Amino acid sequence: MSNLGERGHLLTEQVNPYSLNLDQLSSIEVVELFNQEDQKAVAAVAAAKLELANAIERTSTQLSQGGRLFYIGAGTSGRLGVLDAAECPPTFCTPPELVQGIIAGGAGALVRSSEDLEDRSEDGAEAIAQRQINQLDVVVGITAGGTTPFVHGAIAAARQRGAVTIFIACVPIEQVSCDVDIDIRLLTGPEILAGSTRLKAGTATKLALNVLSTGVMVKLGKVYGNRMVDVAVTNQKLRDRAVRILQDLTDLSREAADFLLDHSGKSVKLALLIHWTGLEKTTAQQLLTAHQGNLRAAVNSQK
């Protein structure tokens, strides 16, 4: 890793030539400049597609064997990891421990700045030890500028414990290196506001995490087609969504779909399997379990 004291050479710290007169732009010019620069975030994710695909494959394999996914970071990077982790249970009905976000400074750092806590690599290592991370787990270190000691300490500790490690940074590998299994670089270039990595770097990171977590959940059978078939039916809005999914994927009326949902214990997956195969509820559940909850695999096994 490069000298942490001097960071001016880092891509994320450099001055953007297109925004030198930022304080003199009109509001519409500010919006246009942001829109122009933000397109580089999408391009940066596209350039990292092979590494992201590898991350999806490795992570889904680990999780299917009982592993967990951890995001770890500080500041904006940490908040984005916590956000992605927090959105997995309502979207994919996953247990909260399956995908976890770790941020330097803990929960309080989500709502107030605690960037001073990112300089302690031993805190990162301690966070890994506290969660008893092992060889089944995946640890994703997120740091826009690539140098955050908290993240490097966590990655090193995770590697010692045999976990699969992934690094997401917005600087080239020749500027900051990290010994990991998968190295994802999102090269978004200098920020409009020099050094403010909550901008393009943060946007690219959010896009990459969207791809990673959703891709993993697709591989784990949490999705059928592009439908959220593992939706948790815990309120009226979600019950309505579940019924509509059943209607969309079958020829059932709303009333019939509603009845089928109740018959299947409010499980959209089980309802669809019963409808498509004609199996009894208990047999259908056993079949679904035998295919690790993958609806398409369970259905195809009956053809």
Name the active-site residue from 13, 37, 51, 118: 118
Is 57 one of the catalytic residues? no
Task: Let me know how long the chain is.
Answer: 303
Identify the burial level of 110 via C-beta atoms within 10 angstroms of its C-beta, where 0-12 means exposed, 13-18 middle and 19 or more buried.
middle
Is 51 one of the catalytic residues? no
How far separated are the first and last CA of the chain, in Å rounded? 54
Name the active-site residue from 57, 87, 115, 126: 87
Contacts of 255 (CB under 8 A, 6+ apart): none
**Distance of alpha carbon 260 from alpha carbon 268, whole angstroms:** 9
Q: In what order do the strands lie in the sheet with 99-103?
A: 99-103, 69-73, 138-142, 164-169, 182-185
Instruction: Take residue 51 and report the two structure tokens written for it.
Output: 């590494």
Would you name the residues annotated as active-site residues? 87, 118
